[in-house]
């Protein structure tokens, strides 16, 4: 009887006649972010992220907590991206997608970079796990939404320019302060870099930085 159980146990360790490979011990980077007025949820996020790591049998290499408002630049997020570039982590774990990305375009850009680096990405709330084939297939949908967002942005910019012309506003360089500020912020929140904004609007990078604060 004992020999039979041992034989069954040995079979269960095989898949289609091949030995089952042990799960990879991923080194995880955790990212928790809240708005300025919602800092009490940081412990909730961190606890959920750490519990997930334990369930997956991973190890925590880096943990980042960030407080900010709206679509402001996620400066501390760069610590995780730098760790990924140095190959110090294997997966980034977040509570929710909007905690990580400023916009769909920004989210897609960072996910594409992580994929290029061979680093996985998991969002608990959306059950998005880019360490699996199904999760990577879902990421393809983000590219569609990002292009949709860019189309909307282009239409808004064109509409803004047309409205300015109708009201006798001189276009080109220099832009009126109000229109310049609006366009810079709109492009930045859509994930466009500061250098690209300066090129598109034909203004100096210093001016872009001053507007964005």
Domains of the chain: 27-131 (3.40.50.1390), 142-212 (no CATH)
Q: Between residues 94 and 107, which one has the greater pLDDT?
A: 94
| Interval 62-94: pLDDT, tens | 999 988 765 556 788 999 999 999 999 999 999
| Residue 45 burial (10 A CB sphere; 0-12, 13-18, 19+) | buried
Q: State percent of the chain over pLDDT 70.
A: 66
Lowest mean pLDDT among 1-5, 22-26, 78-82, 123-127: 1-5
The reported pLDDT for the residue numbered 50 is 96
Pairwise CA distance, residues 125 & 2, whole Å: 45
pLDDT of res. 18:
39
CA–CA dist 191, 78 (Å, integer): 15
pLDDT at 11: 46
Instruction: Tell me the pLDDT tens digit for each residue of 176-189.
Output: 566 677 788 888 87
To the nearest whole number, what is the mean pLDDT of the chain? 76
In angstroms, the CA 46 to CA 52 distance is 10
Give tens-digit pLDDT for 12-55. 444 334 343 345 678 999 999 987 767 778 899 999 999 999 99
Residue 164 has pLDDT above 80, yes or no: no
Q: What's residue 12's pLDDT?
A: 44
- Note whether 188 and 194 are within 8 A (CB): yes
pLDDT for residue 21: 39
pTM of this prediction? 0.56
For residue 181, count CB atoms less than 10 angstroms from its CB and return exposed for 0-12, middle for 13-18, buried for 19 or more: middle
Catalytic residue numbers, as ranges: 35
Residues 121 and 102: their CA atoms lie apart, in Å, by: 16
90 Cβ neighbours under 8 A, 6+ residues apart: 24, 26, 27, 28, 119, 120
Q: Which of 46-60, 104-118, 133-147, 198-212 has the lowest mean pLDDT?
A: 133-147
Mean pLDDT for the stretch of residues 123-135: 83
């Amino acid at each position: 009887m004992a020999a039979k159980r041992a034989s069954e146990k040995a079979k269960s360790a095989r898949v289609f006649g091949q030995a089952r490979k042990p799960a990879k011990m991923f080194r995880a980077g955790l990212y928790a972010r809240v708005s300025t007025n919602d800092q009490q949820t940081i412990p909730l996020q961190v606890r959920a992220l750490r519990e997930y790591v334990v369930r997956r049998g991973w190890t925590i290499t880096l943990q980042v907590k960030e407080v900010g408002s709206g679509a402001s630049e996620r400066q501390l997020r760069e610590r995780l991206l730098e760790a990924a570039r140095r190959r110090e982590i294997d997966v980034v774990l977040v509570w929710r997608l909007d905690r990580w990305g400023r916009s769909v375009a920004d989210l897609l850009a960072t996910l594409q970079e992580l994929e290029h680096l061979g680093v996985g990405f998991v969002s608990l709330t959306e059950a998005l796990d880019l360490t699996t084939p199904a999760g990577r297939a879902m990421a393809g949908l983000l590219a569609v939404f990002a292009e949709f967002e860019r189309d909307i942005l282009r239409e808004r910019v064109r509409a803004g320019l047309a409205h300015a012309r109708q009201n006798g506003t001189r276009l080109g360089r220099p832009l009126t302060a109000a229109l310049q500020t609006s366009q810079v912020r709109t492009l930045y929140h859509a994930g466009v870099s500061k250098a690209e904004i300066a090129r598109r609007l034909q203004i100096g990078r210093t001016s872009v930085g001053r507007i964005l604060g």
